[in-house]
Chains A and B, each alone.
Chain A
Amino acid sequence: SQTIHQWPATLVQPVGSPLSLECTVEGTSNPNLYWYRQAAGRGLQLLFYSVGIGQISSEVPQNLSASRPQDRQFILSSKKLLLSDSGFYLCAWTGPTNSPLHFGNGTRLTVT
């Protein structure tokens, strides 16, 4: 069966520091991969999605970037964090188009 791993679970970082969140998927090949952000008490905002290695689509201009160095690995990065980057970051995968999203357990990021 397929599983998705996301780490770390929580992270506290100072403003201006770099960020790297990692996500890996097991049990499937060529998944579509996603990064979503959820501000406290708010909805899910799509940040990036990827349909293959090295293919990244950005949905929101921002302080973040994403990379997909391997088929089942998706990385979210920032060179300098802002206070507004705080939130709950969720990695997800899907199979073929129009199939459900499967979310990782999320990373709660607090920028201080």
Chain B
Amino acid sequence: GENVEQHPSTLSVQEGDSAVIKCTYSDSASNYFPWYKQELGKRPQLIIDIRSNVGEKKDQRIAVTLNKTAKHFSLHITETQPEDSAVYFCAASIAGGFKTIFGAGTRLFVKA
């Protein structure tokens, strides 16, 4: 089955700096890659997603890139703010399937 690995597990940046979180997946049939943000004690919420027919997608300060050949995808947050502090999860969904498999999460700290 699909396996998603996520790095780093913890990331600390200064306010205004950029943050990058990287994920790899194992099943080449995966074709949908969402990213979720989870604040302490709350539910995960979708922040951006990308499909395998696209190499990059951007939404204001957040961007995601996908390298299908290498089976890598990354989340980029620019001009980080303290409210970006949270746990971020990458995920992969297998084409034609119903399951979304998550990475282990990255705890992002943005220091003011």
Contact with A along B2-33 (1 / 0, CB 8 A): 00000000000000000000000000000110
Number of A-B contacts (CB under 8 A): 55
B99:A105 contact, CB within 8 angstroms:
no
Most buried by B among A99, A104, A108: A99
CA distance A49 to B32 in the complex (A): 18
Output the nearest chain A residue to B47 by Cβ-Cβ distance.
A100
CA distance A17 to B31 in the complex (A): 41
Which bucket holds chain B's interface residue count? 20 to 34
A103:B105 contact, CB within 8 angstroms:
no
Cβ–Cβ < 8 Å partners of B46 in chain A: 100-102
Cβ of A82 within 8 Å of any chain B Cβ, yes or no, is no
Q: In chain A between 39 and 96, which residues have their CB closer than 8 angstroms to a CB of chain B?
A: 42-44, 46, 49, 51, 57, 59, 90, 94
Say which residue of B34, B43, B98 sits within 8 Å of A32 (CB atoms).
B98
Cβ of A98 within 8 Å of any chain B Cβ, yes or no, is yes
A51:B98 contact, CB within 8 angstroms:
yes
Residues of B within 8 A of A (CB): 31-32, 34, 36, 41-46, 49, 51, 89, 91, 93, 95-105
Pick the 8 closest A-B CB pairs, nearest first.
A98-B32, A103-B43, A43-B104, A44-B102, A100-B46, A43-B105, A98-B93, A100-B34
Ordered by A's residue number, 20 sampled pairs between the chains whose C-beta atoms are within 8 Å are A32-B98, A43-B89, A43-B103, A44-B44, A44-B102, A46-B99, A51-B98, A57-B98, A94-B98, A94-B100, A97-B93, A97-B95, A97-B96, A97-B98, A98-B51, A98-B93, A101-B34, A101-B91, A106-B42, A106-B43
